[in-house]
Structure 1
Amino acid sequence: MEDYQITNDFSTISETLDAISQEHKELKKYNRNLQYISHTVATQVIETISNELNRIRLGTNNADRNTQILIELLQGFLQMQNIEHTMTTDIHKPVFLTDAESLVQEKITMMKQRKDSIRT
């Protein structure tokens, strides 16, 4: 304490204790402010990530549901037509399938470009 008194040019020990006490209070207040800011930022980040993940989950669930519906419709159609065997695309890939794949890929690219241009 005497070193602190000499270093900071205090005339009495009481003055030195007051200064140390004041520094301690300020440091404690500063640490509380940092904790509050850290907590607030962490809360905001968690909320934002949670919202984005929820949107992704809902989109994925919707895509899964639509895929299941299409599978059920196709299966029903194949049964109504009494089709026992199908030709797979590794044997022959029809032009209409290639066209459909290209169209879907173009739509995905356009949506991505639109989404990217909105973000910037």
Structure 2
Amino acid sequence: MEKEYKSSIKGVRLTQEEKSIVESIQKEQQLSDFSKAVCYILHDYLRQQEEIQNLQQKNQKLEEANQKQMTRIRLASNGADVSTQTVIEVLNTLCWQMQMKDFRSTDQMLHPVVEEAQKTVKERIANYKQKKDFKQT
């Protein structure tokens, strides 16, 4: 079904290169005349603009989600840093109170309390992971 054209533009001037581009598109798209090729170009332009707008919206949503994740990572990192500093301070105090003179690496001799602490931390992390995985399903 042919579209009814309600207006026409007279006096449109194109360079030879621009005319060649329109004619090339007319051939590629198998359009019957120059006017239909121009209409095709205009509609394609509008489609591309909509696609660009959709991509920009998706990009904005991804940036917002990324910002939320970065905030969570920053908070977790700060929490880990505070915990690490606290543990160092406690160990320093224990070393002074026990008047320790020697250093023993955990590779050489691991204290049972440290073993128990490592086990507890691993279990806690596993439990957090299970809760997180359960929430995602």
Please say if 1:46 is aligned against 2:63. Answer: yes
Please say if 1:62 is aligned against 2:79. Answer: yes
* Structure 2: unaligned runs, 5 residues or longer: 1-22
Q: 2: distance between equivalents of 1:76 and 1:99?
A: 20
The partner residue of 2:44 within 17, 27, 39 is 27
> Which residue number corresponds to residue 106 of structure 1?
123
Runs of 4+ in 1 over 4 A off after TM superposition: none
Q: 2: distance between equivalents of 1:93 and 1:66?
A: 21
Please say if 1:79 is aligned against 2:96. Answer: yes
The partner residue of 2:132 within 107, 110, 115 is 115
> Which residue number corresponds to residue 93 of structure 1?
110
TM-aligned CA distance change 1:77 to 1:63, over 3 Å: same
C-alpha root-mean-square deviation of aligned residues, in Å?
2.1
Equivalent pairs, count: 111
* 3-state DSSP of counterpart to 2:108: coil
Q: 2: distance between equivalents of 1:70 and 1:19?
A: 75
CA deviation map 1:51-74 (0-9, x unaligned): 112201210111011111221222
The structure richer in helix per residue is 1
Measured after TM superposition, the shift of residue 116 of structure 1 is 0.6
TM-score of the two chains, using structure 2 as the length reference: 0.69
Measured after TM superposition, the shift of residue 8 of structure 1 is 4.5
* Structure 1: unaligned runs, 5 residues or longer: 10-15
Measured after TM superposition, the shift of residue 19 of structure 1 is 1.8
Q: 2: distance between equivalents of 1:77 and 1:93?
A: 16
Is 43-52 or 91-100 further displaced after alignment?
Answer: 91-100
TM-score of the two chains, using structure 1 as the length reference: 0.78
Amino acid at match of 1:91: Q
